[in-house]
Structure 1
Amino acid sequence: MERILKEVLDTNRKYVNYGQVASYIPELKNAHRDDLGICIIDKDNNVYKVGDCETKFTIQSISKTIVLAMALMDNDWIDVFSKVGMEPSGDPFNSIMKLETNDTKKPCNPMINAGAIVTTSLIKGATPQEKEERMLKFFRRLAKNDNIGINYDVYESEKVSGDRNRAMAYLLKNDGFIDGDVEEVLDLYFKQCSLEIDAVDLARIGMNLASYGIDVENGERLISERVSRMVKTFMVTCGMYDASGEFAIKVGIPAKSGVGGGIMASVPNSMGIGVYGPSLDKKGNSVAGVKILEDLSKKLNLNIF
């Protein structure tokens, strides 16, 4: 497996030159465009990795999958989807347009920023600190890594540059989709996006989703089967921003990307994949990361369709 991973990485390394690191969050400009790594963890708990798999980066939008799982476990799913939709938006992840133009005014899905801010607001906790602690504990448990924490430089950068997210949140509050203090919700949202992980962490979380919420190492249930199915479905339909349809056709694996350069993929009952490559295309996806997953899907026959 590692020979295949090295071959795929070497073949697609050239694509790092086709994109740029994210710059709209100033701190993300510090990433090295040439970094590239792949990790696979399979259902037998074997770990295969090549390249820059232990390079730390912030999880960004990949966090939306896990926070959605938390929101669905903390609340009745009917209540969650009364506040956020289930359909692809067809718009960029940070678009604000449909909050004003669609009939219901609710966000189209939990994988765009507006929808993710809503699901973050649904995490249970008596205080902001309790919500943050629960979120951190859940991420660490899924990744089996107690060292996962918040990159406070990125968090502060997100907070300072987050006016578009702030505008969304206040619109959502005005229209009744967010309860409680908007700034507290935004603060937790910026923190979840600023969690620092690596490709191995992503592969582990991806495997836990691939196994329908059961830890393949010890058999512990971490997420309910129903919730894990819902999360993977959103990954297929909305996980790669407004390139999700093309990705589903070319790769055919549930996946979620983030502008920190990560992609987390879950092949049901088979494996979790973590890819890191911070050189992004115009839609916010890792250029080389997408190409790597295309090749892996073909070589290992991973397409679920």
Structure 2
Amino acid sequence: MIDKIDTETLEGWLDNVRSFADAGRVADYIPALSERDPHELAAAIYYLDGDYYQAGESDCCFTLQSISKVISLALALIDNGEEYVFNRVGMEPTGDPFHSIYRLEQHRPSKPLNPMINAGALAVSDMIHGHTTEEKVGRLLSFLHELTDDQSIKVNEGVAASEFETAYLNRSLLYYLKQHGVINGDVEDTLKVYTHQCSIDVNVQSLAKIGAVFANEGRDLKSGRQIIPKHLAKICKTFMVTCGMYDASGSFAIKVGVPAKSGVSGGVMASINGFGGIAVYGPSLDEKGNSVVGFKLLEILSNRYDLSIF
């Protein structure tokens, strides 16, 4: 076991990568996200023994965005089982952008290649059990409360409304999926679930703890209770390795080599067996949609402390 990266050390590493925030740009295709300060940075590490260290503006909240795809996948697998889920969504990585419709038109049956692209995540959101959109979102929130032991986590309704109103491409994906029988629910209802799950507010402490629970084979860090079945946690981490960083997942695997998932709000969650969870927030994004600071900080930490799983 390596020496723990304490707050002072983590602050130093975060300071080392601050200048990288100028190398990207804040997402603006969702109006509510465009208002964030690209230099608002934070990082956290949650170890498996419960020790926790943070750096930067660690109290600031940001929305999960695509990081929520890992959470919804875990819940959908718990609700339905592997066979049901993967009959509708594939397991293969793709080099296409996360919002692409191109591969859906090439494959028969027209199921999404994996749950980390938008088409796959939309299909997964449709699979979450619940009679209403409110019940489905409520179950996602309850699941997050269980993973983090933080009952204050909630949906940022302003961001959710902004996403829902401008989700033209995701509506197109849903109509395509509905046409080909991949989803069963109503298009607008499924879109509401998806935009609300993406708009759940977290901070780096909560996000790092989620990563630590996955790293702990789905068990609660304090009680050891199995929140996510071990084999399902393994599936989710495998998708994080192969598909978690959009179409930069291959280069991330080489440069960093840990299971991770990013979101266009600027968050990145990493989960490392035998170590714990790492979360980074930096809203300035590269051309692939990943946090520039998040990618660089994880690269430095992985190389300095030999965290790569490869």
Residues in 2 aligned to 1:167 and 1:260: alpha-carbon distance in whole angstroms: 22
The letter of the residue matching 2:234 is R
Deviation at residue 218 of structure 1 after TM alignment: 1.8
- RMSD of the TM alignment (CA)? 0.9
Q: Which residue of 1 is the match for residue 148 of structure 2?
A: 143
Residue 102 of structure 1 deviates from its aligned partner by: 2.2
Cross-structure match for 1:64: 69
Pairwise CA distance, 1:76:
2.1
1:1-305 aligned at under 5 Å gives the runs 1=5, 2-305=7-310
Question: Equivalent residue of 2:88, what SS?
Answer: coil
Structure 1 residue matching 2:25: 3-state secondary structure: coil
User: CA offsets per residue over residues 189-213 of structure 1, 9 Å max, x none?
Assistant: 0000000111111101000000010
Question: In structure 2, what is the Cα distance between the partners aligned to 1:202 and 1:76?
Answer: 25
In the TM superposition, what is the alpha-carbon distance from 1:52 to its structure 2 partner? 1.5
Deviation by residue 1:73-94 (Cα, 9 ceiling, x = unmatched) = 0012011001000001211111
Aligned-pair CA distance for 1:3: 2.9
- After TM superposition, give the deviation of residue 22 of structure 1 in Å: 0.4
Runs of at least 4 residues of structure 1 off by over 3 A? Answer: none
Runs of 5+ unmatched residues, structure 1: none
Aligned-pair distance for 1:10? 1.1
Aligned identity (percent) is 49
TM-score (norm 1): 0.98
Query: 1 CA distance for matches of 2:11 and 2:202?
Result: 22
Q: Distance in 2 between matches of 1:49 and 1:56?
A: 14
Q: Which amino acid aligns with 1:237?
A: T
- Residue type of the partner of 1:37? A
Q: Is the 8 A contact 1:39 1:273 kept in 2?
A: yes
Distance 2:133 2:294 in 1: 35
* Deviations 1:213-271, CA, capped at 9 Å, x for gaps: 00112212110001000000000000000000000000000000000100000001211
Question: How far is 1:149 from its partner?
Answer: 0.6
2: distance between equivalents of 1:225 and 1:144? 19
> How far, CA to CA, are the matches of 1:133 and 1:14 in structure 2?
39
- Offset, 1:126: 2.4
Instruction: Indicate conservation of the 8 Å contact 1:52/1:276, yes or no.
Output: no
- 2:17 aligned counterpart, secondary structure: helix
Which AA in structure 1 matches 2:48? K
Q: Give CA-to-partner distance per residue, 1:29-50, whole Å, 9 cap, x none.
A: 1111001111001011000111
